[in-house]
Structure 1
């Protein structure tokens, strides 16, 4: 499989009252199309920072990021925003669903921004996620597991090159978490995306194709 996402020697430091805090210290990784990779590590190891860099939500201090052959590390904010719209799907633990939009509108939101709205693909996603009877509901009318399914569907609706997930099942009970991860893995493979998921759960990490462990800002 072709390597969709390649990061090489990424560093990131933040200023603090006690001086510079070196969060990432030369991180390199690769993820192929249809491959699922778990990113594990203790709190403070740099997992969320790495995900933000890979998701074009922030820029590294040094190092390179390549997505589908395109270098991302030197893009300005407008350039990063364009890449996020077109090529990256993100699922956060907080979900960030838009409360004033229905399930159907939330599902299609990212695809509309990208100019890639596909009614047939969106309908398939809704059916696979068990949401086809809930399309006219609003997020507040859904359970936590149902809201998580909407967030997953939204991230995949524009057929991104890579899907990044930060503890996507952290607020769910074990059985619901397993179901949600099954659906996510199935849909990501069907869409052809590369999939990188931050998780604290060894059990869920074992479900992925492989695992990377981040410790004190480095992959070990």
Structure 2
């Protein structure tokens, strides 16, 4: 579902290019889960953004759901994200003018995958049933994070990319939300890549890799 081959990425600076990723090779088949760990600044979020087609690599090849991102235009990248990739980042990016129930269904409707029964099931499992008529500004940070995760899972993406997806949740809720993600992987055969600083959460996934100084270990 996700393949990286000899992927590199650098950013310009006044002192010259800063090499963030160096020769990254990674394989994440459908139905598997992978935790990506590493110190702050090691390149974890950059790798996730490249896999999500939000940024372009300087070298190497990235293949998502059988489609190479090399040379892919902006509209094709946007379509791939809309139809095949689920993103859970630290910024919630909820639509402030929409209530919780509408935010939960938003991405699935755009992708043409809206399933009211599935959205209702997610709403219950995420503990959001009493909040569906509220607007994002009326929610706590943890509640907003649960809505953001539910919105991503609602369209049953082929590849789920998560950057510290439970960082704003208490341990009990964090475990429940992660279990929901893992259940979805098992039910649908999607692939799940999660960036985390938590060894405990990383241990719940099928595999773990560590990124240090732009290289995988």
Which TM-score bucket, shorter chain as reference? over 0.9
Q: Aligned with 2:75: secondary structure?
A: helix
**In the alignment, is the contact (CA less than 8 A) between 1:59 and 1:74 conserved in 2?**
no
Q: Which residue of 2 aligns with 1:214?
A: 211
Equivalent residue pairs, number: 217
**In the alignment, is the contact (CA less than 8 A) between 1:53 and 1:59 conserved in 2?**
yes
**CA displacement 1:145-164 (0-9 Å, x = unmatched):** 32222111111212211000
Alpha-carbon distance in structure 1 between the residues aligned to 2:48 and 2:109: 24
Q: Which residue of 2 aligns with 1:74?
A: 71
Q: Aligned with 2:8: secondary structure?
A: strand
Correspondence for 2:181 among 176, 184, 187: 184
Give yes or no for the alignment of 1:162 onto 2:159.
yes
Q: Which residue of 2 aligns with 1:14?
A: 11
Alpha-carbon distance in structure 2 between the residues aligned to 1:161 and 1:179: 21
TM-score, scaled to structure 1: 0.92
Change beyond 3 A, Cα 1:172–1:125: closer
Alpha-carbon distance in structure 1 between the residues aligned to 2:121 and 2:70: 34
1:177 shift after superposition: 2.1
Correspondence for 1:50 among 47, 51, 54: 47
Alpha-carbon distance in structure 2 between the residues aligned to 1:217 and 1:141: 40
Q: Aligned with 2:119: secondary structure?
A: helix
**CA displacement 1:173-216 (0-9 Å, x = unmatched):** 33332232222222333333100000011111111111011111
Correspondence for 2:141 among 125, 134, 144: 144
Alpha-carbon distance in structure 1 between the residues aligned to 2:215 and 2:196: 16
Alpha-carbon distance in structure 2 between the residues aligned to 1:173 and 1:125: 19
1:116 shift after superposition: 2.0
Structure 1 residues not aligned, in runs of 5+: none
Structure 2 residues not aligned, in runs of 5+: none
Q: Aligned with 1:60: secondary structure?
A: coil
**CA displacement 1:47-85 (0-9 Å, x = unmatched):** 000000000101111111112211123212111111111
**In the alignment, is the contact (CA less than 8 A) between 1:145 and 1:180 conserved in 2?**
no
**In the alignment, is the contact (CA less than 8 A) between 1:156 and 1:191 conserved in 2?**
no
Alpha-carbon distance in structure 2 between the residues aligned to 1:111 and 1:26: 35
Alpha-carbon distance in structure 2 between the residues aligned to 1:95 and 1:189: 25
Deviating beyond 4 angstroms after TM superposition, the runs of 4 or more aligned structure 1 residues are none
Q: Aligned with 1:164: secondary structure?
A: strand
**In the alignment, is the contact (CA less than 8 A) between 1:45 and 1:214 conserved in 2?**
yes
1:10 shift after superposition: 0.7
Correspondence for 1:102 among 91, 99, 103: 99
Change beyond 3 A, Cα 1:191–1:105: farther
The answer to which of 64-73 and 171-180 deviates more is 171-180
1:140 shift after superposition: 2.3
